[in-house]
Amino acid sequence: MKIAILGAGSLGTIAGAYIAAGGQDVELIDVYQAHVDALNQSGAKIIGTTDFQTKVKAITPDNMSGTYDLVLLLTKQLYNDSVLQNLLPFLDEKSVVLSLQNGIPEEKVASIVGRERVIAGSVEFGATFMEPGVSKLTTEFGHFKEYAFQIGELNGEITERIHEIKTILDLVGGTHISDNLVGTKWSKLLINNAFSGLSAALNTEFGGVIDHEVSIVSAAHIADETIKVGHANGVTFAKMNTFDIASLEIKSENDIPERVQTLRNFMEPSRLLRASMLQDLEKKRKSEIDYINGVVPRLAKGKGIATPYNDMVVKLVKQAEETQSVPNFDTNIKFFEELNK
């Protein structure tokens, strides 16, 4: 099987390294020439909660050739139109494109490469790009080896190709098959909205969101808005590991202290994570905010659901994008303090 990692950045370097070390025929494809050169010269190096280095083959997109049987889509959603159009000549009728981006990009991906080629998944570990050839794993290693991915067919069917692709992703970390892919993507979206959104809007690791009373209460509201909008759009949220994430819905003000405590317990092992959106702001780049927190207000339209917390995250992250600066925690926490009153 010929495999492509399309977008070998923070996550793609890690996925590519372990798949290559597992003896698979895999190409790491990235536009960053210095990174591609470093990968070919010294191999892919993974630091952070592990220390691992392995030989890989890396190329830039202009050197793609032949056809790929499996493509792991790990570029940012912002570039899907051009990235996927460029990929089309390298797909045949049996090729599979595995969408692993945060958010819910699957309909868009399917509209370009064809629905029958698309499967999808959620990534349940964190990674930070360090320098050419080097990526940092930020999730505790044992957790990563147990819960790295959930993958599934768009319609939830458990097919042979899903089992086959699971064995490849298992080389990276624990891979689980979902029979409710839409619910899986929304459950990950909820965590991204609450923690990656606030991590970016407040310029802090997830631990910073957990520790401050205002931000953790805001995270509980962001989760609640996401659940209400998801339900209004027919989504059944999938369990995360064994946790029923839809139970975070706030039915009355009295629920808030319990929801806050539940979120604190659930997210404690992830306290070192830094949102990939924050990494984008640090690089003075546009982030995926429109495809993460931005999904909630967009899908709330016409449903009579207010989304002030997600709106605030979108506003603050966009402000940082426009001014090419990183947010200031002390300044931005005050906006959430106002919402909590």
Ligand X SMILES: NC(=O)C1=CN([C@@H]2O[C@H](COP(=O)(O)OP(=O)(O)OC[C@H]3O[C@@H](n4cnc5c(N)ncnc54)[C@H](OP(=O)(O)O)[C@@H]3O)[C@@H](O)[C@H]2O)C=CC1
Using the rule CB under 6 A, which residue among 27, 30, 205, 321 binds ligand X? 30
The residue (of 102 and 203) whose beta carbon lies closer to ligand X is 102
The residue (of 90 and 206) whose beta carbon lies closer to ligand KPL is 206
The residue (of 136 and 221) whose beta carbon lies closer to ligand X is 136
Residues within window 88-117 making contact with ligand KPL, judged by CB under 6 A: 102
123 binds ligand KPL (CB under 6 A): yes
99 binds, among ligand X, ligand KPL, none (CB under 5 to 8 A by kind): none
281 binds ligand KPL (CB under 6 A): no
194: closest CA among 157, 242, 248? 248
Contact segment (CB under 6 A) with ligand KPL among 215-223, 224-232, 243-251, 271-279 equals: 271-279
77 binds ligand X (CB under 6 A): yes
Residue carrying structure tokens 């970390």? 173
Nearest-angstrom CA–CA distance, 337 and 35: 42
The residue (of 9 and 133) whose beta carbon lies closer to ligand KPL is 9
Count each helix (H run) and each strand (E run) in the chain, helices first.
Answer: 15, 12
Residue carrying structure tokens 């080389």? 171
Taking residue 162's Cβ as centre, other Cβ atoms within 10 Å add up to: 21
Collect all residues with Cβ–Cβ distance below 8 Å to 168 and sequence separation of at least 6.
1, 3, 19, 22, 24, 70
Using the rule CB under 6 A, which residue among 75, 95, 192, 293 binds ligand KPL? 192
Given a contact cutoff of 8 angstroms between Cβ atoms, the answer to whether 177 and 306 are in contact is no
Nearest-angstrom CA–CA distance, 137 and 76: 18
Using the rule CB under 6 A, which residue among 3, 4, 5, 10 binds ligand X? 10
Given a contact cutoff of 8 angstroms between Cβ atoms, the answer to whether 103 and 295 are in contact is yes
Nearest-angstrom CA–CA distance, 73 and 63: 17
61 binds ligand X (CB under 6 A): yes
> Which token pair is 187?
């459950």
How many residues bind ligand KPL (CB under 6 A)? The answer is: 11
Site string for ligand X, 106-125 (x = CB under 6 A): -----------------x--
Using the rule CB under 6 A, which residue among 126, 152, 173, 294 binds ligand KPL? 126
The residue (of 29 and 229) whose beta carbon lies closer to ligand X is 29
Alpha helices in 236-328 (DSSP H): 256-267, 276-282, 295-300, 308-323
- Which residues lie near ligand KPL (CB under 6 A)? 102, 123-126, 191-192, 196, 273, 275-276
